[in-house]
Structures are given as structure tokens and as C-alpha cells.
Amino acid sequence: MEVPQGGAERENPNSSSASPVSVVANFWKEFDLEKERSLLDEQGLRIAENQENSQKNRRKLAESTRDFKKASPEEKLGLFNSLLKGYQEEVDNLTKRAKFGENAFLNIYQKLYEAPDPYPALASIAKYAFCEANHQEDLSSKQKRKDKNLDIEMKRRDHNNLNPAIKERNRKTEKKEVDEED
């Protein structure tokens, strides 16, 4: 598996005309995180299983080595081949385990290496959300001012409509008072 070595080969997602949000969204859509999680779960389980098997094999080798050391020189000749074979098998198993772990890491590393930096997209979304919230507040305050102005205008009209009636009543009252004085 070939792994990118330097930052120079890496494509800059900001150099294209696409918005940071669409670049990030497209990458993660193609990346298929759920599929990758499933694969990582399988690999994680296999790594744990390999670690457990390796632990068991080391214990067996330690026991075989103790038995070998305790054995008489004649018995050692017979035990040596099986002990050597056990060590060779463990070296092979550790090599396979290391390769599996390295390949799992390099696989996800290579995929994530191509990932665009999500910060510009998230910052853009946050800025948009902030502006949208401010815009909604502005609209709300404009609507409140408009409603208040409409209410004032209605009261002014009501007052103006009542004014002639009040003037007429006042005129009649004054006329009555004048008539009563006479």
C-alpha cells in the first residue's frame, strides 16, 4: 500500500472554486463513515484477538523454556527442536500481527490523509448560522416596531375620529350653559 509522503502531493481543497462546505460534505459522503466504522470494528476485534493469542503463546513459550532449562542434558536434545519451532512460530505470528496492525493503520491513514480540513467548512456554517440568527432577530425587531407603529397609528386615528364628536359635545354643553345663563 503506497502512502503519501509529503504535504506537496496533497491536493488543497481550498484551491478549487467549490465552497469548503461542499468539499467537506462530498468527501465524507464518498468516505462512507459507517462502512469504515464497521471495518475498523472488525479490525479492532481481530487485533484484540491477536493480542490475546500472542499473550497465550508467550506464556506457553515461557513454560516450555522453563521446562527446557530444568531438563537434563539428554532431554534438552529432544526438547530443543520443539522449543525452537515454538519460537519460530511465535516470531511468524508476531510478524503477521504487526503486518495486520500496520496495514489497518495505513489503510485508514491513507483515506484520512485525503480528507479536507473540516474547520473552514464548520466555521463557514457557524458564521452563516450566526448571521441567520441575527437576521431573524432584526426581522423580529422590525416586525415589533412595525406592529407598534401600526398600533400608534390606530390610536391616533381613533383619537382623531373621537375628536369631532368630543368637540360637538363640548359645543352643545357650552350652548346649554349659555342658554341656562340667559
Residue type, 122: L
Of 44, 36, 126, nearest in space to 27 by CA: 36
Q: What is the pLDDT of residue 125?
A: 84
3-state secondary structure labels for all residues of the chain: CCCCCCCCCCCCHHHCCCCHHHHHHHHHHHHCHHHHHHHHHHHHHHHHHHHHHHHHHHHHHHHHHHHHHHCCHHHHHHHHHHHHHHHHHHHHHHHHHHHHHHHHHHHHHHHHHCCCCHHHHHHHHHHHHHHHHHHHHHHHHHHHHHHHHHHHHHHHHHHHHHHHHHHHHHHHHHHHHHHHHC
The pLDDT value given to residue 85: 94
The pTM (predicted TM-score) of the whole model is 0.54
* Residue count (the chain): 182
Cell of 150: 401600526
pLDDT at 98: 94
Residue-by-residue pLDDT tens, the chain, 182 positions: 444 444 434 444 444 567 788 888 888 888 888 999 999 999 999 999 999 999 999 999 999 999 999 999 888 888 999 999 999 999 999 999 999 999 999 999 998 888 888 888 888 888 888 888 777 887 888 888 888 888 888 887 777 667 777 777 778 887 877 777 76
Cβ distance 68 to 79 under 8 Å?
yes
The per-residue pLDDT for 130 is 80
pLDDT of residue 9: 40
Instruction: Show the cell assigned to 118.
Output: 473540516
